[in-house]
Amino acid sequence: MKACVCDRYGGPERVSVREVPTPVPGPNEVLVRIMASTISAADSRVRALRVPRGMATAARLALGLRGPRKRVLGTELAGVVVAIGARVSRFAVGDRVLGFPGADFGCHAEFRAMAEKDELVAIPAGLSFEEAASLPFGAMSALHFLRAAHVQPGERMLVVGASGAVGSALVQLGRVFGAEVTGVTSTANLDLVAGLGAERVVDYTATDILRGGERFDVVADMVGAIGFAQYRHVLRPRGRMLAVAAEVPDMLAMAWAPFWGMRVFAGPATTKPGDLAQVAAWAAQGVLRPVIDRCYAMAEIVAAHAYVDSGRKRGSVVVRIAGAD
């Protein structure tokens, strides 16, 4: 099968399409023909070894010394089941499925085997493969942080960087949790964020939300360009900061935040069994919709990585692995 392989850390040119062995599903696995995947922020960071300051050595030990240990990146997939193991009962050949291997990667390939018990669910009716593939990374990350912060109905939540994959999901799921959401984004994305359900949208090129005197119960930072010391001035007492793009100082601030009457949540997102099924249910109900910026063919994988690296993407960048409907 064809797969997008990254042998060494570096720029987009480090990824190339090659022939690799096709996986064979085990007794408890299904084999999915992947129709669409995405290039998530995780894919871009791992490919470039772009990690928080002071974490490079630890990252190499965890991810691979000279290049990614998992050479085929891709955290999410949408496709069709083409084979099942002898003990599989939840899926059948021909099922349209959405999967989220997350940090196990492997979705930038024509086929991937996944255990039946893994995060694998039916694609909601009405969604294309591209739309389905663009859901998990942002929504699962957003769900992790909303749950960690115990966001409550009626609380005021500020989302800085509200047009990206995680930011756009936070705006929508923040509303599901009952929060009053203010989104901060660029001029070009104001209508997008408003259309996702933000009660208020702020253009950061025209307004500095940190200097306006407003206070929020929750501040979610997708960008990481502003330190925790500045954000704490817009948090209410017992407020929570979601440092999604945290650097080491933000992580260290987690220990000191209680002395200032607030909490900081940083680090990688984790998932619980059933989270992907919940995400799919929200999409089926229409309260969570995919946001797609651009679609690329598998042969354009280098250009797709370069666009993600530009920092200009909104929502997801999709890679069509096979012919999608």
Note whether 250 and 227 are within 8 A (CB).
yes
Q: Mean pLDDT throughout 143-153? A: 95
Which of 3, 291, 304 minimizes the C-alpha distance to 134?
Answer: 291
Q: In the CATH scheme, what is the homologous superfamily, with its name and number, of domain 137-266? A: NAD(P)-binding Rossmann-like Domain (3.40.50.720)
Q: How many CA atoms lie within 13 A of 294 on its CB side?
A: 15
Domain 2-135+290-320 has CATH 3.90.180.10: yes
Q: For the CA atoms of 297, 299, 305, 311, what is the dihedral angle to 10 degrees?
A: -40
How far apart are alpha carbons 62 and 320 in whole angstroms? Answer: 29
Q: Specify the residue for token string 């997708």.
A: 222
For residue 131, pLDDT over 50 is answered with yes
For residue 325, pLDDT over 60 is answered with no
For residue 234, pLDDT over 90 is answered with no
Q: Mean pLDDT throughout 90-94? A: 97
Instruction: Give pLDDT, residue 265.
Output: 74
How far apart are alpha carbons 125 and 295 in whole angstroms? Answer: 21
Q: Mean pLDDT throughout 200-220? A: 89
For the ranges 90-99, 162-171, 225-234, 309-318, the lowest mean pLDDT is seen at 225-234
pLDDT digits (tens, 9 = 90+) for 282-295: 999 999 999 999 99
Reported as a pLDDT band with limits 50, 70 and 90, residue 242 is confident
Q: Both tokens of residue 92?
A: 């059948």
How far apart are alpha carbons 11 and 308 in whole angstroms? Answer: 11
Q: Mean pLDDT throughout 226-231? A: 70
pLDDT digits (tens, 9 = 90+) for 2-29: 999 999 999 999 999 999 999 999 999 9
Domain boundaries, the chain: 2-135+290-320, 137-266
For residue 257, pLDDT over 70 is answered with no
Query: What are the backbone dihedrals phi and psi of residue 119, each rounded to the nearest 5 degrees, phi first?
Result: -75, 90
pTM, full prediction: 0.90
How far apart are alpha carbons 76 and 108 in whole angstroms? Answer: 9
How far apart are alpha carbons 200 and 163 in whole angstroms? Answer: 14
Reported as a pLDDT band with limits 50, 70 and 90, residue 246 is low
Instruction: Give pLDDT, residue 324.
Output: 38
Reported as a pLDDT band with limits 50, 70 and 90, residue 249 is low
Integer-rounded Cα Rg, in Å, for the chain is 20
Average pLDDT for the chain: 90
